[in-house]
Amino acid sequence: MSEIREDPAVSLFREYLKIPTMHPDPDYSKAIDFLCKLAEDVGLDFKTIETGPKELFVIMSLVGTNASLPSLGLYSHMDVVPVFPEHWKVPPFSAEKMENGDIYARGSQDMKCVGIQYVEAIRRLKKEGKRFLRTIHVMFGPDEETGGKRGMIPFMKHPESKRLNLGFCLDEGIANPGPEFRVFYGERSCWWITVRCRGNPGHGSSFIQDSAAEKLTKILNTAMDFRAKQEQRLNSDPSLTIGDVTTLNLTIIKGGVQHNVVPAELFASFDIRIPPHVDLPEFEKELGRWCREAGDDVTLEFDQKCDSPHKVPLDSSNPWWTAFMSACQSLSMEVKTEVFPGATDSRLLRECGIPALGFSPMNHTPILLHDHNEFLNEKVFLRGIDIYYEIIPALANVSGSCHLTL
């Protein structure tokens, strides 16, 4: 009995997955060579833009019939997070396919699948002689997984990004174990803060008054009480997702020199994610109140403050959304709109006034981004190409300037 021939798109996907673009030392050179050959094979213009040492932003382009109109951007990132091979059932960059079609590799969900799906959908459309009103730019960026400081951030400041004249972009979403396809129209602001508590030092055998530990305890109690209320709010309202509430997690505690010395300083760091509907200046004032109520010499420092208040409108005022949903409805797709719980490069596009939706066509799939044994089934992958085959023309043929204020 002869083996069933693998779909060429799946073979390309697996080839891309085998390239170890893993932090802290991603091999972008092999990825760019692969993408260059892919663009040439499909017949797309190809260029790279340097955004950092050894970091290049890849742009594949298909010129539209009215290139003066704002273009459609299809974005994915090349880099992936680290792995712990001892926890994987197969080598994490083997792209091994199981008998049921599950393809195991770091990046299979986050998000090398999407980049190949874009290009394979365009390949099919080009073969059929389809033309589009707007220019399409398929973009592959570096450094998303470490914040975009050598990727999307410098790219958006580069003159080339202005020449692309982006009017709308698609970026990554998240898998869903259920039947719905998740679409993300905004993101939570990411605040990393450190609270510094200073107090009276002394001998560990005494009752030292006004100590750093007393103040830190008050901060921790207040923070954990806030966290519990947000978790209760999420669990008590089925209409809410985690992107609709503020999460707060204690991630680092530092301080002290030895067991019998009461320290003069203690530090606590928190990861806070804030949904777009929250008044950010008012929330910052609330954090200040926590510090004041904990005692004197309690200060707050921002280690990272990424504000993401921008939301893409999901109504008839947004022709991009109307076109996107029209394509989804033609495929009888059940769509669930959400605020993204983490951070993606979409936030940087929205900050520049470019509406961006997060969407990865992976339903009936466990959420495994950044997890051990990340996989994507080949049928789900191929279905994603079918979905982009409908969505890309719908977006690329939207008429008018379509300017939105975010």
Catalytic residue ranges:
79, 144
Residue among 333, 337, 348, 332 nearest 313 (CA) = 337
User: Which residues 6+ apart lie within 8 Å of 216 measured at CB?
Assistant: 195, 197, 253, 255, 266, 268, 294
- List the structure tokens of 392: 């890309």
Residue among 31, 71, 308, 43 nearest 187 (CA) = 308
Judge contact between 139 and 59, C-beta under 8 A: yes
Radius of gyration of the chain (CA): 24
First and final C-alpha spacing in the chain: 58
Classify 376 as helix, strand or coil. Answer: strand
Nearest-angstrom CA–CA distance, 359 and 173:
4
- The owner of tokens 């994915």 is 76
Residue among 311, 313, 316, 319 nearest 396 (CA) = 319
DSSP single-letter state for residue 86? G
At 155, give phi and psi (nearest 5°): -65, -40
At 92, give phi and psi (nearest 5°): -65, -10
Judge contact between 199 and 214, C-beta under 8 A: yes
Classify 133 as helix, strand or coil. Answer: coil
